[in-house]
Amino acid sequence: MYEIIIIGAGPGGISMAAEARSYGVPSDKVLILEKAHEHSFSIKKYYPDNKLVTANFKGFTPQCTGVMCLIDSFKHETISYLDKAIKDYDLNVQYNETVSKIIKSETEQKFTIISDLKTYTSKTIAIAIGILGKPNKPNYKIIPTIKKRVVYDLTSTEIKNAHVLVVGGGDSASEYCQFLSDDKAQNKVSLSYRGNTILRMNDLNKDSLLTMTGTQKVKLMFDSNIKGLSDLEGKPKVHFAEEQYSDTVYDYIVYALGGTSPENFLKTVGITFDGQYPILKEDFETSVTGLFLLGDLSAGKKGGSIIWAFNSANTAMRKICSTYLDRV
């Protein structure tokens, strides 16, 4: 039986395993299960190469509390750091394996974890699934003839010399504008922002966006709401609800609307929710004893960051070691 099984090989999962090793848990008693073919798949898939991975994200101070820490870094630097952690802490990661069911024993502190390949048992579990892997989509219909012009993943489509509309209001929206408005790309970029004041960005991304707006690299459309799209010769025509914005044809629309948590899966495990958010204790333990949530799943309404993932892993591991593994 494992001492801890971690679901998800992103920053939260990797740091959780590193924390376990630092507390003396043997390598063969720690297991990470990852459904993708490589670790940190969402970062590799959804982050453009020159996108800065910011330590201070959505207001969280980048103060590290555990064995892993990272300053503002580019994508390749972040991945290299996580590669090194897997090697240095001798972490056991099983790729291409999807967990379908978790069953808590009624008589002892033990979980049975059923994947599409094997069945495991563990004293404790940490779920560190990110939310970027399932990006939010707009509530209006995207007609099939323009789907190739609608983008949720900037790494899947090279966009150059194009008229682009970014839709969103968080850090990713600013970062996408920065990436798309780069001089080499030669794009004309607009940002559709629903509010009238920038609220949900860290200072770095807010300042960058305002600078791009001031130099006319990005057109910032405050108080803009899209009511629907239509097809004009294979390109998306955007219909705004507000009279001050005329319907406009773009070459591409890039949605940066955040992601959704795997709520149904978490509920089947028995985790109690308050609305759309799981109820967590201060050490990120759920209502199921011995089962913890990390990273984005533990951050609540504000959303998480890599530093938040690292720190939540440290906090959770202290609780696991003192309460369930007798290692503190």
Q: Which tens digit of pLDDT belongs to each residue from 25-57?
A: 999 999 999 999 999 987 887 777 777 776 655
pLDDT bin (cut points 50, 70, 90) of residue 184 is confident
Asked if pLDDT for residue 60 goes beyond 60, the answer is no
CA 90 to chain centre: 25
Asked if pLDDT for residue 101 goes beyond 70, the answer is yes
The rounded distance, in Å, linking the Cα atoms of 72 and 74 is 7
What is the average pLDDT across 206-216? 93
Asked if pLDDT for residue 58 goes beyond 60, the answer is no
The predicted structure's pLDDT at residue 258 = 79
The predicted structure's pLDDT at residue 260 = 66
The predicted structure's pLDDT at residue 251 = 98
Asked if pLDDT for residue 229 goes beyond 80, the answer is yes
pLDDT bin (cut points 50, 70, 90) of residue 136 is confident
What is the average pLDDT across 128-139? 79
Asked if pLDDT for residue 59 goes beyond 90, the answer is no
pTM of the model: 0.75
When comparing pLDDT for 273 and 60, which is higher? 273
pLDDT bin (cut points 50, 70, 90) of residue 308 is confident
The rounded distance, in Å, linking the Cα atoms of 158 and 154 is 7
pLDDT bin (cut points 50, 70, 90) of residue 133 is low
The predicted structure's pLDDT at residue 40 = 92
The rounded distance, in Å, linking the Cα atoms of 261 and 245 is 33
The predicted structure's pLDDT at residue 302 = 57
Q: How many helices (H) and strands (E) does the chain have?
A: 7, 19
Asked if pLDDT for residue 195 goes beyond 60, the answer is yes
Asked if pLDDT for residue 88 goes beyond 90, the answer is yes
Contacts of residue 35, Cβ cutoff 8 Å, sequence gap at least 6 = 96, 97, 98, 99
What is the average pLDDT across 218-238? 97
Asked if pLDDT for residue 190 goes beyond 90, the answer is yes
Strand partners, 52: 74
Q: How far is CA 92 from CA 33, 61, 209, in A?
A: 9, 30, 41
Radius of gyration of the chain (CA): 21
Averaged pLDDT of the chain: 90
The predicted structure's pLDDT at residue 110 = 97
Q: Express as a percent the part of the chain with pLDDT over 70.
A: 93
Q: Judge contact between 41 and 169, C-beta under 8 A.
A: no
The predicted structure's pLDDT at residue 263 = 79
For residues 146-180, b (16+ Cβ closer than 10 Å) or e, as one string? beebbbbebeeeebeebebbbbbbbbbbbbbbbbb
